[in-house]
């Protein structure tokens, strides 16, 4: 099946919101992890989302270190591989901070615009602008500009209100994990006039969600997703380090719907969900989460399988004590296959937990 178009993508998200399930959004770094993600969606009979970050674009472009080149190459590969499977796949660019909008996000939108002018399908289906480091008013001003550009090209825009702590692909949040337990700002954090206390910036308020809805819904014909924050942190941590408050999402949705009616219920995104108990994941879905980013867990699954292969076959992948090793074991295709299979299995598990397994609209 070809990569989904705008109408099909919107239908996927609407179906998830109404049906109380969510799609895994899997970050990929190169062709092997991209293949593993799509193979996992196909095995689970689930539609899904492939995510490409600035760091992924740099990785995929090799020594060129060109994030746009790498992102375009990965997206083009996704189109070709998705066509071999019968589930719906959307391609999304992840976590573009304000300082990289002109060097990453806008060039990707421009590439889609060029293709549309030639009568070709969109390269990407959605993009994320992460303006969470800015005051909300400025964040939304910039978000509106990008949302208008996305609307012109049948793209969905994801925005973030509040701050997801931790670090993702080299982008470090304004609030770090120690702030969760100590109650003090993280080392190096800089308070700005009018800022809420650092720890509280991890929690989006109902007023924030209402501002986001009213500002972005005013862009007629546009579609957006909101990554609201409720204590979520990028990475994975031992139990007790991260204090999630999923009820914050309910409070925000209730505020929006109380003023604008049930049809205003927003499509939400869960960032930093690795290691979250299943019960809390299901609770967020009840409150409107339709997309959950899966990065740390899937990358670990890939690397863990490769490490396992290397430890078990160390005398085959290395030429030890004058021997010649075993070519079939040190061939990259062999150990990369182990990583792909393990990552695909983790994607299947994510589809089961989020409730998207067996619900592909292409079935």
Residue 58 sits in a domain whose CATH number is: 3.20.20.70
Which of 182-186, 194-198, 240-244 has the weakest average pLDDT?
A: 182-186
Return the pLDDT at 183.
36
Question: Can you tell me the distance from the alpha carbon of 263 to that of 321, in angstroms, rounded to the nearest whole number?
Answer: 70
Which of 30-39, 160-169, 291-300 has the weakest average pLDDT?
A: 160-169
Return the pLDDT at 272.
80
Question: Can you tell me the distance from the alpha carbon of 176 to that of 185, in angstroms, rounded to the nearest whole number?
Answer: 8
| Residue 180, strand partner residues | none
337-358 pLDDT per residue, tens:
999 999 999 999 999 999 999 9
Give the range of the structural domain holding residue 121, as residue numbers without chain letter: 6-296
216-255 pLDDT per residue, tens:
999 999 999 999 999 877 655 555 555 788 999 999 999 9
Return the pLDDT at 201.
60
The answer to the question of residue 53 being in a domain is yes
The helices-and-strands tally (H runs, E runs) of the chain is 14, 10
Which of 99-113, 141-155, 196-210 has the weakest average pLDDT?
A: 196-210
193 pLDDT band (50/70/90 cuts)?
very low
The answer to the question of residue 326 being in a domain is no
Return the pLDDT at 26.
97
Question: Can you tell me the distance from the alpha carbon of 43 to that of 95, in angstroms, rounded to the nearest whole number?
Answer: 27
The residues annotated as belonging to the active site are 94
Kindly tell me if the per-residue pLDDT of 184 is higher than 50: no
Average pLDDT score, the chain: 89
What lies within 8 Å, CB to CB, of 319 at 6+ separation is 325
The answer to the question of residue 359 being in a domain is no
Kindly tell me if the per-residue pLDDT of 336 is higher than 50: yes
Whole-prediction pTM? 0.89
Question: Can you tell me the distance from the alpha carbon of 172 to that of 298, in angstroms, rounded to the nearest whole number?
Answer: 20
94 pLDDT band (50/70/90 cuts)?
very high
Return the pLDDT at 171.
52
**Among 234, 231, 199, 192, which Cα is nearest to 95's?**
234
Percent of the chain with pLDDT over 90: 79
The answer to the question of residue 288 being in a domain is yes
Kindly tell me if the per-residue pLDDT of 186 is higher than 60: no
The answer to the question of residue 192 being in a domain is yes
What is the average per-residue pLDDT within 188-210?
A: 63
154-169 pLDDT per residue, tens:
999 999 997 764 455 5
What lies within 8 Å, CB to CB, of 20 at 6+ separation is 285, 286, 355
What is the average per-residue pLDDT within 182-199?
A: 39
User: For residues 170 and 217, which has the higher predicted lDDT (pLDDT)?
Assistant: 217
**Among 285, 306, 304, 293, which Cα is nearest to 233's?**
293
User: For residues 288 and 229, which has the higher predicted lDDT (pLDDT)?
Assistant: 288
The answer to the question of residue 357 being in a domain is no
What is the average per-residue pLDDT within 97-102?
A: 97
Domain total in the chain: 1
What is the average per-residue pLDDT within 173-198?
A: 40
Return the pLDDT at 189.
33
Kindly tell me if the per-residue pLDDT of 273 is higher than 80: no
What is the average per-residue pLDDT within 29-51?
A: 98
Task: HSE, CB side, 13 Å, CA atoms: give it for residue 157.
Answer: 31
From residue 207, give the alpha-carbon distance in Å to each of 2, 136, 140, 210, 228: 40, 11, 13, 5, 12
194 pLDDT band (50/70/90 cuts)?
very low
The answer to the question of residue 110 being in a domain is yes
Q: Rounded to the nearest 5 degrees, what angle is found at the Cα of 31, between the Cα atoms of 41 and 319?
A: 120
What lies within 8 Å, CB to CB, of 155 at 6+ separation is 6, 109, 112, 122, 124, 125, 126, 127
Return the pLDDT at 182.
35
177 pLDDT band (50/70/90 cuts)?
very low
The answer to the question of residue 336 being in a domain is no
What lies within 8 Å, CB to CB, of 124 at 6+ separation is 75, 91, 92, 93, 108, 109, 112, 155
Kindly tell me if the per-residue pLDDT of 190 is higher than 90: no
**Among 289, 136, 153, which Cα is nearest to 221's?**
153
């Amino acid at each position: 099946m070809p990569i989904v178009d705008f109408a099909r993508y919107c239908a996927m998200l609407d179906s998830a919101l109404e049906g109380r399930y969510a799609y895994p959004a899997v970050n990929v770094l190169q062709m092997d992890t991209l293949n593993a993600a799509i193979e996992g969606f196909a095995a689970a009979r689930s539609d899904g989302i492939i995510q490409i970050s600035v760091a992924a674009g740099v990785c995929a472009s090799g020594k060129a270190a060109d994030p746009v080149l790498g992102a375009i190459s990965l997206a083009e590969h996704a189109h070709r591989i998705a066509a071999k499977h019968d589930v719906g796949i959307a391609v999304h660019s992840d976590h573009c901070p304000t300082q990289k909008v002109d060097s990453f996000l806008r060039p990707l939108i421009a590439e889609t615009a060029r293709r549309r002018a030639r009568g070709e399908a969109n390269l990407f289906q959605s993009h994320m602008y992460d303006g969470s480091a800015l005051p909300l008013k400025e964040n939304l001003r910039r978000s509106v500009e990008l949302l208008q550009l996305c609307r012109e090209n049948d793209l969905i825009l994801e925005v973030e209100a509040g701050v997801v702590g931790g670090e993702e692909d080299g982008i470090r949040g304004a609030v770090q994990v120690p702030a969760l337990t100590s109650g003090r700002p993280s080392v190096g954090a800089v308070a700005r006039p009018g800022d809420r206390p650092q720890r509280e910036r991890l929690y989006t308020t109902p007023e924030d969600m209402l501002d986001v809805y009213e500002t972005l819904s005013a862009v007629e014909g546009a579609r957006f997703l909101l990554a609201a924050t409720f204590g979520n942190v990028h990475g994975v941590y031992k139990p007790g380090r991260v204090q999630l408050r999923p009820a914050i999402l309910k409070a925000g949705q209730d505020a929006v719907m109380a003023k604008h009616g049930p049809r205003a219920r927003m499509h939400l995104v869960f960032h930093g969900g690795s290691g979250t108990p299943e019960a809390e994941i299901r609770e967020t879905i009840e409150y409107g989460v339709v997309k959950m980013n899966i990065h740390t867990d899937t990358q670990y699954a890939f690397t863990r399988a490769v490490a396992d292969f290397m430890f078990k076959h160390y005398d085959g992948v290395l030429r030890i004590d004058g021997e010649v090793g075993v070519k079939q074991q040190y061939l990259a295709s062999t150990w990369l296959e182990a990583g792909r299979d393990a990552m695909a299995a983790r994607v299947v598990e994510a589809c089961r937990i989020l409730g998207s397994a067996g619900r592909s609209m292409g079935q």
